[in-house]
Structures are given as structure tokens and as C-alpha cells.
Structure 1
């Protein structure tokens, strides 16, 4: 079976430095359409020299350009123009995103692109209300605190939701007056390359630059560059460790939004239908490829068998297929190697003494694309590798528990701590559970909901730092304290 391409992508994709194609200098990298496995474009990798040119362009725009000193009112206008640009190009951007990621097109249009546009509006609104601090408690003095942009931001975006997650970084960095160099994943460069090209029409020269390539080449050159002042990364935990190590040598601050193995805790006191819908959405949306997936489904023992049976029945009916079709619920995984890795965990579960409940196989009936059946396993215990390692696909692991104490113990028994889910209509159960969960976000009786005003990030190996309104302000700005005497103070006259 061969699925139509959502759009004819450019034959070659290159970076952009001050609005012009980058120098490249690296190898050519293929870009594939996950629904067919066919190569659809070629990416020009940027080597260290090309990265240097991009950083220098951002540096010049920060040191000598108008952007850092632009009034808040003017900066808000530009952020609104960025939002309008996205909304005017939703169809093209969504189709390019679909072509490289295999994500379902209707979801990209309805959620990802609108989230990207709202990121710019949110930070425009945020800076319009931002306030400084002043202190007059010390007699004879007034001290005030201002925030200033840090400088050149290196923004490294993941492959699972490129536009939605990259624009959070771009909008935040620019809103506070920084300039930026963006590096998308080499697997999914199409939509972000087009977006950066479109935004050149509304941004001053050099404010937003784009480099492309592998993490070991382009990414390594970017995070080690002495002209970079701060780094924001979303991706895998091991890559995050490498980036922080390189950044530490230059004392460059970082925010890291990394992996997850989130517990979705379903108590017997939950609304069974809503909890089931939430569990399915939590593991199968975005083709299962999201760090905040509820991938460990913990179900209280009295309802365990019934819940698992109902989950299995529904999972068997999940519509896997063409990402362009409106009826499709789960599209292909992002790459052949990732598909094979996800499928390997079915054998891993059996090796650890668990059992396969459903799926675990490639959908060969859908052609050469990277499709798999929605998968769930019953773990022998939370120590099983399927319960400890991030699989990052439409692959759920079920574990039974008895009572709040055991649920919390299992949920916290992981190296990760990004999000947790709690399903219960019994408020004492909710309140006994949520404060004890070691994760940066807890969602109660709801699937994924992102409140941009609130901090988002993880405990333990799920990340360092937070994204969100005040959190981004703290990261993308430097605090400056200025003290002024209200009248000339007495001075000691050394040597008089």
C-alpha cells in the first residue's frame, strides 16, 4: 500500500543565516516520509563553520541590532506578526510537518499549529504585564531591579512535535529580547525550515537563524560555541547529559526537558469510562511519541481485570493508517530504526516474565511505512524493563496496585519524574496521592493539559529547569540591580 504525500516538499533543505542559505559543509542527510518509507528530500548538514556563521549572525543582531533594545510595545507587535504568519500558513506548515513526522494531519492542523501560534500570543501578553521591583526600605536610597536579555540562545527542538515545541522556545527567547539559533532534529526539518523562512519577513536580520544536522555534528558545534549564552533543549536524557556537560565548560545555563516514564494511576474510585478514555489518549495520541505519555498504567486491583480487558478491546479498534485520512487515530512511527526499537520491547517484556496483551507487531498490511499495532503488556513487576525504560511509542505497560501507598511507591520507583496522572472521584484519595508524587506536573482526572502560565518540567532525569511564563522570564533574562541615593550620601575622604 502506498499513501499519497501530504505536500511536495523541497528537494533540498538548508539552514538560514540572516535570511540567507547557510554554508552547509557537512554530509547530505535523507529525509523520509514515515507513511511510505520513501525518501522525500535531502538535508544539507551544517558543519562547525556553518554553525559559527549562524552564531556570529545572532551575536551581531544582539550586540548591534535593534531587537534587544526594542520597546516592549514594538516587540509585542512583532510577536503578533509571527502568530499571524503561522495562522496564515497553517495548511502548508501542517502538511510539511506531516511529511517528515507521519503525525496525523488533522491533529497537526487542530492542535500543533494552533499551539504554535498561541505560543507567540502568550509571550506577547506576558511581557505586556511584566513588572519590575523596587526597594525603598533602606533610608536615603532607592534600589530597583530590571531584567535584560541574556544574549544568543541555542534552541534545540525534538522530532516528535517540532513546530509546537520549537515555537515555545523561539517565542520565549525572542519575547525577552534575545536572538537565537535554532537546530531542529535532522529527521524532521521540513516545517521548521519553512517557518524560519516565513518569519524572516517580520523579524529583524539575524534575530532567528537556522542550522541543520545531526546532534553529534551540528548540535555539538552549537552547544560548545563560545558565542552561545544559553541553551534550551528538548529531547532524550542521554543527549541532555552530553549537552549539559559541554555547556558546563563555558558556564552556559541550560534548561532541559528530557524523557519520561509517567505513571497513569487509576483508582477504583475513578469514573471508569473517563479513566479509560484518558488512558487511551495518554498513550496513543501523537502516535504514542511524547515524553509526557502515561506509559505506565497503574490500576487498583479491584478493577484491574475489567479495566485491562476494556482497554484491550478499545486498543484493538484504534484506527491505524494514512496520516492524511480524517478517520486515522494513529499514524506511523517517525523512523524505521525507532519502529524496530519500539517493537523490540514486546520481546523484552516476555523475557522479563511479562505477557503481551495486544499488538507488538508491525502492520505489514499498510505497506513499507513504519506502522505498528497499538501495544500493551502486563508487567511482572515495576522492575521490568518495559516499566523502567522509555519506549516512546504506542506501547502501554500495565501494573496492578493495592491502595494509595503502593500506587505512590510504584509511581515514584523510576529514574524519571516528568508528569503523573491521577484518576479518582474521591477527593481524599486525590489529596493523599498528589503531594507525594515525585514529578514536575500532576494531572488529576484529565489527560494532557498545558497551562503556559505555570512551570513545566521534570524531577530527576526528566529535566533541569522549567518552561512557562515566569520560568522562561527567569531563564531568558538577567537580573540587574541599580541603587540610587535620594540625596548625596556622606563619603569617606581617603587620603584627604
Structure 2
């Protein structure tokens, strides 16, 4: 029905030390969500190919120049990585669109620019890092320095592959590590091209790429004894499995996992801005965001007005071709995921939810994976659609009467990634921000990612944080050196 944004490579393979991966697994189809048509095949990397990638990264770390480069030299390389992305924004955006169905205008303007900025950010960050010195103990000088850890396994999600994977790549490399990247098998196209471009900038083996399914390629990667640390963004259940394996090997992890974030709207809010923010919070990125404001809690005096206006606006959203500049909501990333989201509509009906809008596939848009923007009023916060992460354009509304009730509802969740608060009443804002159990709280704004600040979640939303200092702590080891200023007196044992 819609034109393909770009013709991708007919066959996508991993890269090990700059050369095509040996693969070893089956060929997996890659589909364009806009039409449901197959556009490429991905060669899955089996355990032998994964081992080759880890060994290449290990050689580059143990014997190569990268970990030993001066900070100034590493900054120069990171800047060249940024330039390589910026020089290919259009191609990368089109490849990302083919695999994900994300809106082309957002991919160009935000995702690819953010990918380039990730390298600039960490180049700037390491330019200002410093060690520590302690002189408090008389007669001794103690210094603390940070060293790179080693080989990083970086596992990226399918919902914003390039933007999120490059955060991991830039951080791992900035601090002197080498890496093996595994994208989602659903969305490998743009990341394969990014890694290919960066091979022209980085020393051999510093960044390697393996492709395939989690239980095959991912499992081989996290189980490999040559991996020194793991950074994963994805589903909570998969995160638990990875941490279980990593724990047996004493490998540190950061896990950015699921969310069921509360978006709390008070009658004291600027309701026009809150409405815009609520729509962005759930429908941006085609609804496929771990930080989506998917539980919208509205104070009862304005509940009916707000939900009515939300439903009217949601129903009027332009759903369709992600290449069209006028499109506001594109397709979901895959047919299984679309069916999963539609399954929650059936669950909502069975639970007695009141539908405000949507809840069905857009059959009029052909074979693509299009779902109408959906909003329901749940009978209580115990409903599955209020507790389980749907990861699609599906908002669940709940009313509340007091700030205390809003806090109780918001915190009654297995997750705690982000929360949103809309109010122009400062005491209400302060009460909420201090009581919400979430790693990030946004006040009167839908989304703002400050890379200098830590990002991550409470509870089942993850372990560890990403951000400037948080990444420095994760991707480096601390080394303490103590030196006596003058020869210290020592007992002469056995003299």
C-alpha cells in the first residue's frame, strides 16, 4: 500500500573484527511494518559466531590500542563517530523506518540526531573526568583512578534501536572498553549500517555485531566467559533471565526494563498542556516506549472533561504511512506485537473497561500492523490493562480524589520507571515528586531526557542507571594506589 522508504540489503550479517560474521544459524525474515512485506533476511549468529565476536573484542581490549589511548585521542575518535552518523542521517532514518515503522520525520529530527549526540555527550564527559587524591592519613598518599572493565555485551531493543543502542556503544567505548552489540532480530537494518560505518573510524575489533534471537544469539553472548559486563534494554522477564546467568558468572549488569508509568493530572494543572502531554506520553513512538505514560490518573472534578477531550483528539489522530509527514501514528513493529496489543483490547472488554476510543486494527490501511489509538476507563487499578505493560498506543484511565489516593494508585505497580505530574500548585507538585516510587519524575512536561542525570527504574523496571556519572561507574573499575610519602616504619618479623 505504501512505498518502501529505502531498499535495504537483501541479506544482513554480523561483523566480527570488521569482517562478515560466520553466522551459522538460519536466515530470519525482516518485515516492513507499514505493509507487512518481507524486505530482507537476517543471518542468525550461532554460538561459534558469538564466540568469535567476543574473542575479537577481547583481543582488541587486551592487545589493541583502544583501552590505552589518551583521553584526547579517544575524544577525537568519538567525534568522528558522531560525524559518521550525521553524514548518513537520511539513509539511517530510512533503514530504521523500514524495520520499525517509526515516523520518518521523528527518526530524522530526533532519533538519528540523538544517536550522534550520544557520542558528543560522552566525548565531552570524559574530557572533564578526574581521579581522586587522599592525604588525610599522615605519611601516605592515596590515589584513585578508573580503568576500563573489558568486553561489554550490549543488547539493544527493537523500539528505538539506533537511538538507544548508540547510548550504550558511546558510553562503553568512551571509557575504553570494547564491545559486542546484539540488536533485536526484528530491527537489525539501521544498526548494522551504523556498525559498518563505525568500522571505518574505530580500531579493529573494538565494536563487533552479532544478530539473532534472544534464546540463541543473546544467550550465547551473556553466557560467554569472555564477557565482563552486560547492558540490556528490553523486557523485564528477559532481564531476569540475563541477570540470573550474569550472577552465576559474577558479571555486573545494567537493566533498563519495562514500565507502567503513571501520568497524574490534577485539576490545578493547565489542562490544555496536560492534554497535549498525555497524548504525546502514550502515542509517541507509535506507543512503543517503556517510559510511556500508559496509566493516566485524572482528578475526579475534571475526569469526564479530560477523558472526553482525550478521546476526541485520539480518534482524530492521523494513522498511516510512516513516510508521510502528516502521519501522527504509524504501525506497530511486528504482527505478533500487534496481535498482543489487540489481545489487551479483548482483555479490557472482558474486565468491564469502558472504551473511550479505538480497540481495533485499522483494516482500511492494508496489511500493515496498524492499530487505532485506544483509550479505556478501567474499573480499578487492579485491572490487567492497568497493571501489565501493553507497549502500544493504549491508554488506561483511572480517577482519583486526593493526592494521597493518586500516590497509592501510582505506586501500586510492579514497575517504577518514570512518572508524570501535571499541576500548577507547588505544594501538590512537591508532595507528589517526593512520594512517587519512580526513577524519573517529569513535572508539567511529557518527556525530557537529561543525559547528565541518571536514568533508570525502581522495582521491576530495572537495575542500575544510564547517564554521565552512572555510566562512568558502570563501565570502569576503580583502582586505589597507596604510597608512603617517606619510608614507613615496619616491624621486623622473625628478626
**Rounded Cα–Cα distance in structure 1 between residues aligned with 2:410 and 2:391:** 18
| Number of the residue aligned with 1:27 | 26
1:93 matched to which residue of 2? 92
- 1:161-240 mapped onto 2 (5 Å cutoff): 161-240=160-239
Q: Per-residue deviation at 1:351?
A: 1.1
Stretches of structure 1 that go unaligned for 5 or more consecutive residues are: none
Flag as ranges the 4+ runs of structure 1 deviating above 4 A.
none
Whole-Å Cα distance in 1 between the matches of residues 331 and 351 of structure 2? 27
* 3-state secondary structure, aligned to 2:449: coil
What is the deviation of 1:492?
1.6
1:15 corresponds to which residue? 14
Q: How does 1:347-358 map to 2 (within 5 A)?
A: 347-358=346-357
Task: State the SS of the aligned residue for 1:78.
Answer: helix
d(CA) in 1 for partners of 2:483, 2:364: 74
Tell me the alpha carbon deviations over residues 148-168 of structure 1, each in whole angstroms, 9 at most, x when there is no partner: 000000000000000000000
In the other structure, the counterpart of 2:246 is 247
User: Residue in 2 aligned with 1:3?
Assistant: 2
Which residue does the alignment assign to 1:435?
Answer: 434
Structure 1 position 347, deviation (Å): 1.3
SS at match of 2:416: coil
Match of 1:312 in 2: 311
Q: Is the 1:346–1:356 contact (alpha carbons within 8 Å) kept by the matching residues of 2?
A: no
Structure 1 counterpart SS, 2:488: coil
> For residue 127 of structure 1, what is the aligned residue in structure 2?
126
Q: Which range moves more in the overlay, 337-346 or 270-279?
A: 337-346
Cα distance in 2 for partners of 1:193, 1:115 equals 17
Cα offset for 1:368? 0.2
Aligned residue for 1:487?
486
Partner Cα distance (2:77, 2:376) in 1: 49
Q: Secondary structure at the match of 1:139?
A: coil
1:35-50 equivalences in 2 (<5 Å):
35-50=34-49
Distance of 2:365 and 2:351 partners within structure 1: 30
Deviations 1:36-75 (A, max 9, x none): 0000000000000000000000000000000000000000
> Is 2:443 the partner of 1:416?
no
Report deviation, 1:432.
1.1
Provide the residue aligned with 1:476 in structure 2: 475
2:275 aligns to what? 276
Distance of 1:350 and 1:198 partners within structure 2: 48
- Asked if structure 2 preserves the Cα contact closer than 8 Å seen for 1:14 and 1:22, the reply is yes
Deviation at 1:489, TM superposition (A): 1.0
The 1-side partners of 2:353 and 2:374 are apart by 13
Separation of aligned partners in 2, 1:408 and 1:493 = 65
User: Any conservation in 2 of the 1:101–1:188 contact (CA below 8 Å)?
Assistant: yes
Q: CA deviation at 1:147?
A: 0.3
TM-score, normalization by structure 2: 1.00
- Displacement, 1:491? 1.7
Aligned-CA RMSD value? 0.5
Once the two structures are TM-superposed, the CA of residue 495 in structure 1 deviates from its matched residue by: 2.3
Does 2:448 correspond to 1:446?
no
Distance 2:33 2:353 in 1: 30
Residue 79 of structure 1 is matched in structure 2 by 78
Partner-residue secondary structure (3-state), 1:489: coil
Deviations 1:91-142 (A, max 9, x none): 0000000000000000000000000011000000000001111100111110
Q: Deviations over 1:160-211 (max 9, x none)?
A: 0000000000000000000000000000000000000000000000000000
Name the residue aligned to 2:65. Answer: 66
Q: Secondary structure at the match of 2:482?
A: strand
Shift of 1:344: 1.1
Separation in structure 2 between the aligned mates of residue 347 and residue 4 of structure 1, nearest angstrom: 32
How many residues are treated as equivalent by the alignment? Answer: 495
CA contact (8 A) 1:15 1:46 kept: yes
Provide structure 2 residue ranges, at least 5 long, that are not aligned to the other structure.
none
2:460 match: secondary structure: helix
Using structure 1 for the length normalisation, give the TM-score. Answer: 0.99
Give the secondary-structure state (helix, strand or coil) at the position aligned to 2:211: coil
